[in-house]
Chains A and B, each alone.
Chain A
Amino acid sequence: METVLTSGTEEGLIYGFMALGILLSFRMLGFPDLTVEGCFPFAAGVAATLLVAGASPPVATIVAVLSGIVAGLIAGAIHTRLGINNILAGILVASALYTAQLRTMGRPNVPLLNYDTIYGQALGFLGLTESRWGNIAFLAMLTLIVGGALFWFLHTDLGLAVRATGDNEIMVRSLGVDVRDTKMITLALGNGLVALSGALAAQEQGFADVSMGIGTLVAAAAAVVIGETVLGQGGVGRSLLSAVLGSIAYRALLAFGLRLGFPATDFKAVAAVLVLLALVAPQLRNRWRETVTRRAVARGGAAT
């Protein structure tokens, strides 16, 4: 049980960055950004290739994040400047990133077992020994820093315009904001976070693989949705916190399922159902309420 919790927390924090990215693009902007399916493994591949080539772990991680930001900007440009539908724009970029990743890595899988990683370096720097708890401490600190930066950004004038674009685009445009720019910023940030997640995941699991992106969008959306269900929707701070906690809960569930003998692949369907339920729940609730009211009226009772 303890390993379920610790590995759930560790992976949950790693995938928490991805959940934060999805929170920005999918929840705040309403943009189902499939770029992430290509961006996550690509960033992992970039980090792994750089590490194998002798780059230091921080440099490899930062370059991976930058590559994610560029991927987000490209998807954003395809959508906003060329007028391509949002889902299609993401699929196009993800598809191109698949080739880019194979080209970068030179083969479908790059193992990292004998290389120094960001975890080893960070823990050495902090004077901690390498262990799962050490990793968790480092990841928690990184989450605090990144989450804090996001919290700050979303409260600036620009960040507010970014948030408002998903809320009422018509109004934001009428107030003089070029929504093409705010959308590109959101996708750049979102994919930067997803890339960070990819680079951290590769270094934790000890390899990068071309197939590690399949189903990531839905899994991250499921994490966001679980967090929202548990913590409820509220201000920016609560949204950020619930995305990270949702990610931890989701990964702990996954680890628990693996313990029980379910293959990891089963969870893609579970995640899909969870997201679907969360998306239709408000509609179902309304329809149910209407039915109850109508019945009450039909019975001659007072509908309140």
Chain B
Amino acid sequence: MIHMRGVVHHFLRGTVNEVVALAGVNLHVRPQEFVTIIGSNGAGKSTLLRALAGVVMADAGRFTVADTDITCWLEHRRAELISRIDQNPLASTAPQLSIEENMALAFLRGRNRGLGMAVTGKRRDVFRAALSKVALGLEDRLTTKVGTLSGGQRQALALVMAILAEPRVLLLDEHCAALDPKAAAQVMAITEKVVSEQKLTTMMVTHNMEHAIRYGNRLLMMHKGRVVVDVSGPEKTCLTASGLVEKFHILSGEILPDETLLTS
């Protein structure tokens, strides 16, 4: 479903502050695979998702989604196939608009927008049904301005908006980080449910080791712009949080050379 080949990206290129955010990533994600991604701060996780969604145009590398080469597509065109929630809770919703207006914007993701009414009775029913899945009571506050919601509520709304138009690929960047533990568990459960129901191919960045292990069927660890651990299937089910944390520390301290880890 997703092919990334030789993806390289630098920030502030040619200056003394140059950062190699992605140092050559090769990744093939199969249809309906649910990949969790962990890694220390600055490992390049967000940049990887942003490069795939076209928010940043990678310096090098090719991207293919659903057998279509999207390397040269700009972000708004990639939105047809890819839906992404940013790790910043303020980035994925429009504060001055109401909940229903935000939903109406997401309803037509990647499609042409014409002169039909954005919020109709019929669409409102769809919005209400979709919002009731997150059970935060947002379905009863359709005309509330999104700017008045809490960060967690906004992120939950962002999840509903991300899956409303049934994308092929769902990219989640720490979408539960702003939520309290109970809401986070709830939103994760909903994420898992819709991912399997809508047969989405998903990549999810998280700092929560439990989530990384429990959800999904493949786990990647990134370090310094590379994928250094890639486990899936039964091997992933056997991972433990403490084992992962240990790997994490080893990588951060760089006690072992990368080769050792790649074969672990």
Contacts and interface: CB of A to CB of B under 8 A. Distances in A.
A174 B101 CA distance: 16
Contacts of A161: 105, 113
Contacts of B90: 168
Interface residues on A, range: 20 to 34
B94 A157 contact: no
B94 A164 contact: yes
Interface in B19-76: 53, 55, 74-76
Nearest to B78: A176
Interface of A: 153, 155-161, 163-164, 167-168, 170-179
B95 A177 contact: no
Contacts of A177: 76, 105, 113
A300 B111 CA distance: 58
B105 A164 contact: yes
A167 B117 contact: no
A164 B84 CA distance: 18
Contacts of A167: 94-97
A160 B104 contact: yes
Contacts of B96: 163, 167
Contact of B93 (A160, A168, A173): A168
Contacts of B86: 170, 174
Contacts of B117: 155-157
Interface of B: 53, 55, 74-77, 79-80, 84, 86, 90-97, 101, 104-106, 108-111, 113-119
B105 A179 contact: no
The prevalent SS among residues of A at the interface is helix
Nearest to B74: A178
A177 B79 CA distance: 9
B92 A171 contact: yes
A25 to B, nearest CB: 16
Contact of B118 (A156, A170, A176): A156
Given A168-B93, A174-B79, A176-B79, A160 B114 contact: no
Given A164-B97, A171-B93, A157 B106 contact: no
Contacts of A179: 76
A174 B90 CA distance: 13
Contacts of B116: 156-157
Contacts of A158: 113-115
Given A158-B114, A160-B101, A160-B104, A171 B109 contact: no
Given A157-B114, A159-B118, A160-B118, 17 more contacts: A153-B115, A155-B117, A155-B118, A156-B116, A157-B104, A163-B101, A168-B91, A170-B86, A171-B105, A172-B94, A173-B55, A174-B53, A175-B110, A176-B80, A176-B108, A177-B76, A177-B113
A8 B264 CA distance: 80
Given A168-B93, A171-B94, A156 B110 contact: no
Contact of A157 (B76, B93, B108): B108
Contacts of B92: 171, 174
A171 B118 CA distance: 17
Contacts of B114: 156-158
A173 B75 contact: yes
B162 to A, nearest CB: 9
Contact of B91 (A153, A155, A170): A170
B173 to A, nearest CB: 12
A180 to B, nearest CB: 9
A167 B76 CA distance: 17
Contacts of B111: 176
A170 B53 CA distance: 12
B79 A157 contact: no
B95 A168 contact: yes
Contact of A176 (B94, B95, B97, B109): B109
B119 A155 contact: yes
Contacts of A170: 55, 86, 91
